[in-house]
C-alpha cells in the first residue's frame, strides 16, 4: 500500500469504529429494504465517468466532519476542528507531554481512566485470558497461524551475493536483509473484536524475525479487555499490549513515551483519526498504508451464482463504509444479484449497515465483454478482486491492479480475510495500481554491502572519475585518485 498516501487517498472510519454494529437488532422483513444500488450499462452509459464518480465518493480528503463530531471537538479543544487538525493537535501534545497526554486523551475520548501502569496489559492478564479461552477457538488460531507462517516464510526475501572475479580483480556485492527491531500494530476495537488483525500483522512480522511487537487497542470490551483478542496475542507470542487507541496511540508509538518505547514501523487498520495520524507521523516512523473503505469488485460470467455474488458484495459493505461492485457481461445476472441483495440484506443482522454502503458506494455494471470487464476492474484497482468464473485463469492474465485476487466460485474473500495465509492488510482506494498488500518482507530492512579490492578499484577508476567530472563533483573523483596515487 503503499507507503505514502496520494492526495486523494481514501480515509475512513474502518472496521466500524464509529458505527453501532446493530448485532442485537431484530431481523428485518424484506419490505424494509430499499436497495437503490445503481446499475450501469456500458453500451449506453460512459463507464469511465461512472467509475470516476464512484472512486471520488470513496476518496474523501479527511477534512469533512459531522455535526456530532464538530460538537465533540468543540468540547475537547474549545473550537471546531477538522479531523486532520484534531490529529495534528493530539500528535503534537503527545510528542510534547508524553504519557500524560496519552492518558488524558484516553480519558476524554474513550471515557477510561488509566495510569501509566494500567494502560499496559499485564503478563498475568494475558496468561489468564489464554488459559480461560475456549480451546476450540485457540485451535482455530493455531491453524490460521500455521497457514500464515507457511505462506509468509515461502515468500521471505533471502540475502543475495554477487562476486565478480577477473584475474586479481575481485568485487563482492551483497544485498543483506535484517528484520526491523520493533514494530507497532493498530488493532480496532470499537464495535467488534478483531483477533484476525493480530494474526494477519503479527505473524508476518514474527516470520520476518521481528523481536519486539507492540499491539495497541482501544480500552473497550471489544478491545483491550476482550478475552479472545488477548488470548490471540498470547498465542502468537505478543507480550506487549497497550489499552490505548486513536491518534494518541499512533503518536505514542511513533514518538515514544514513558513505558512505551518508540517503534520503527506502524501497521494495521483503524478509524479516520488513526489513518490520519499514521499519515502525520510518517517520516518519524514507517507505516504500511493509509487504509480506506473495504472494497470488492466481482468479475462474473454466466456460471456465477447470484446468491454467492450478493453475499460477497455484502461481506465488504457490512464494514460500513464498504464497497461492493459487480462487473458482468451476462445481462441476466444484474437483476438476479439485485434480487439476492434485497433478500439477504433483509435478514442479516448487519444488513442495514451493508445496505447504506451498497446504495452509496456500490454498483452493478454490465460490460460489453470479458475484456472490457477486466479493463474496468483495472481502473478501479480494488482491494479485493473476485473472478467468479468457471475458468478464472482465462481472465487472470488480463488483470494488473488488485490487492488480492480470489479465484472461482468457492473462494470468497472471507477465506483471505481469515484463513488462507496472505495478509488481509491490503491497498485500498485505487492504490493497488502501485501499492502492495502487507507481507513478511515489509518488516525487513535491506542494506547493500560493497567490497572492491585494489585491482578492482583500479579497473573502475577511469569510469568513476569521468562521470564525477561530468557532474562537477571533484571530491568524488579525488577519493578515487588519491588511492591510486599511492601506487605511483
Burial 213-249 (b: 16+ CB within 10 A, else e): bbbbbbbbebbbbbbbbbbbbbbbebebbbbbbbbbb
Length of the chain: 488
Check: CB of residue 358 under 8 Å from CB of residue 324.
yes
Strands 182-186, 240-242: parallel, antiparallel or unpaired by DSSP?
unpaired
Distance CA 488, CA 484 (A): 7
Rounded to whole angstroms, how far apart are CA atoms 404 and 279?
A: 23
Q: Distance between CA atoms of 197 and 316, rounded to whole angstroms?
A: 16
Show the beta-strand stretches assigned E in 243-310: 265-267, 286-287, 294-300
**Cβ atoms 10, 59 nearer than 8 A:** yes
Across-strand partners of 214? 184, 240
CB atoms within 10 A of CB 481: 13
* C-beta atoms surrounding 360 within 10 Å: 18
Q: Which helix (H) or strand (E) holds 420?
A: none
Element (H, E) at 170: strand 169-179
Active-site pick, 17, 383, 386, 424 = 383
List phi, psi (to 5°) of 267. Answer: -130, 170
Which one-letter DSSP state was computed for residue 398?
T
Sheet order of strands, 240-242 included: 240-242, 212-216, 182-186, 265-267, 286-287
Residue 277: count of CB within 10 angstroms of its CB:
32
Q: Which of 280, 384, 386, 424 is catalytic?
A: 384
Taking the C-alpha atoms of residue 389 and residue 305, their distance in angstroms, rounded to an integer, is: 10
Q: 265, exposed or middle or buried, with CB in 10 Å at 0-12, 13-18, 19+?
A: buried
Using DSSP, state whether 116 is helix, strand or coil: coil
The question of whether 476 is a catalytic residue gets the answer: no
Contact indicator for 172, 451 with CB cutoff of 8 Å = yes
Q: Helix or strand or coil: residue 478? A: helix
Q: Which residues contact 22 (CB under 8 A, 6 or more apart)?
A: 349, 350, 352, 353
* Catalytic residue list contains 124: no
CA 236, 242, 244, 247 dihedral sign is: negative
Q: Please give the positions annotated as active site.
A: 383-384
Amino acid at each position: 500500500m503503499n507507503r505514502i498516501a496520494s492526495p486523494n487517498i481514501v480515509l475512513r472510519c474502518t472496521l466500524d469504529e464509529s458505527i453501532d454494529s446493530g448485532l442485537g437488532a431484530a431481523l428485518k422483513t424484506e419490505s424494509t429494504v430499499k436497495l437503490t444500488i445503481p446499475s450501469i450499462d456500458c453500451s449506453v452509459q460512459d463507464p469511465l465517468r461512472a467509475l470516476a464518480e464512484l472512486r471520488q465518493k470513496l476518496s474523501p480528503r479527511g477534512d469533512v466532519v459531522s455535526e456530532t463530531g464538530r460538537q465533540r471537538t468543540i468540547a475537547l479543544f474549545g473550537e471546531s476542528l477538522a479531523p486532520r487538525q484534531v490529529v495534528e493537535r493530539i500528535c503534537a501534545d503527545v510528542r510534547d507531554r508524553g504519557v500524560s497526554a496519552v492518558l488524558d486523551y484516553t480519558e476524554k475520548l474513550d471515557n477510561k481512566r488509566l495510569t501509566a501502569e494500567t494502560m499496559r496489559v499485564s503478563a498475568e492478564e494475558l496468561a489468564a485470558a489464554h488459559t480461560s479461552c475456549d480451546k476450540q477457538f485457540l485451535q482455530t488460531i493455531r491453524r490460521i497461524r500455521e497457514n500464515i507462517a507457511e505462506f509468509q516464510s515461502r515468500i521471505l526475501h533471502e540475502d543475495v551475493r554477487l562476486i565478480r572475479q577477473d584475474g586479481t580483480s575481485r568485487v563482492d556485492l551483497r544485498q543483506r536483509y535484517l528484520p526491523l527491531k520493533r514494530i507497532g500494530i493498530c488493532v480496532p476495537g470499537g464495535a467488534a473484536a478483531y483477533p484476525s488483525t493480530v494474526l494477519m500483522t503479527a505473524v508476518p512480522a514474527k516470520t520476518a524475525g521481528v523481536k519486539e511487537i507492540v499491539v495497541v487497542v482501544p480500552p473497550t470490551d471489544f478491545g483491550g479487555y476482550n478475552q479472545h483478542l488477548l488470548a490471540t496475542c498470547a498465542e502468537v507470542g505478543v507480550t506487549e499490549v497497550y489499552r490505548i487507541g486513536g491518534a494518541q496511540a499512533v503518536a505514542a508509538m511513533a514518538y515514544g513515551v514513558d513505558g512505551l518505547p518508540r517503534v520503527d514501523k506502524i501497521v494495521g487498520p483503524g478509524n479516520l483519526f488513526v489513518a490520519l495520524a499514521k499519515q502525520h507521523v510518517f517520516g518519524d516512523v514507517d507505516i504500511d498504508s493509509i487504509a480506506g473503505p473495504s472494497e470488492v469488485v466481482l468479475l462474473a460470467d454466466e456460471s456465477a451464482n447470484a446468491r454467492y455474488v450478493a453475499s460477497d458484495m455484502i461481506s465488504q459493505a457490512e464494514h460500513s463504509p464498504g464497497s461492493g461492485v459487480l462487473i458482468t457481461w451476462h445481462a441476466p445476472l444484474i437483476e438476479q444479484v439485485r434480487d439476492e441483495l434485497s433478500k439477504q440484506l433483509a435478514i442479516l443482522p448487519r444488513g442495514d449497515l451493508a445496505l447504506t454502503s451498497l446504495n452509496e458506494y456500490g454498483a452493478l455494471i454490465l460490460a460489453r465483454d470479458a475484456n472490457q470487464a477486466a479493463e474496468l476492474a483495472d481502473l478501479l484497482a480494488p482491494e479485493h478482486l473476485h473472478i467468479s468464473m468457471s475458468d478464472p485463469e482465462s481472465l487472470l492474465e488480463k488483470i494488473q491492479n488488485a490487492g488480492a485476487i480470489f479465484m472461482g466460485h468457492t473462494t470468497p474473500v472471507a477465506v483471505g480475510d481469515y484463513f488462507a495465509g496472505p495478509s488481509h492488510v491490503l491497498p485500498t482506494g485505487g492504490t493497488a495500481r502501485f501499492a502492495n498488500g502487507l507481507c513478511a518482507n515489509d518488516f525487513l530492512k535491506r542494506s547493500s554491502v560493497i567490497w572492491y579490492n585494489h585491482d578492482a578499484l583500479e579497473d573502475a577508476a577511469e569510469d568513476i572519475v569521468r562521470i564525477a567530472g561530468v557532474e562537477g563533483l571533484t571530491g568524488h573523483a579525488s577519493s578515487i585518485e588519491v588511492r591510486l596515487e599511492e601506487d605511483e
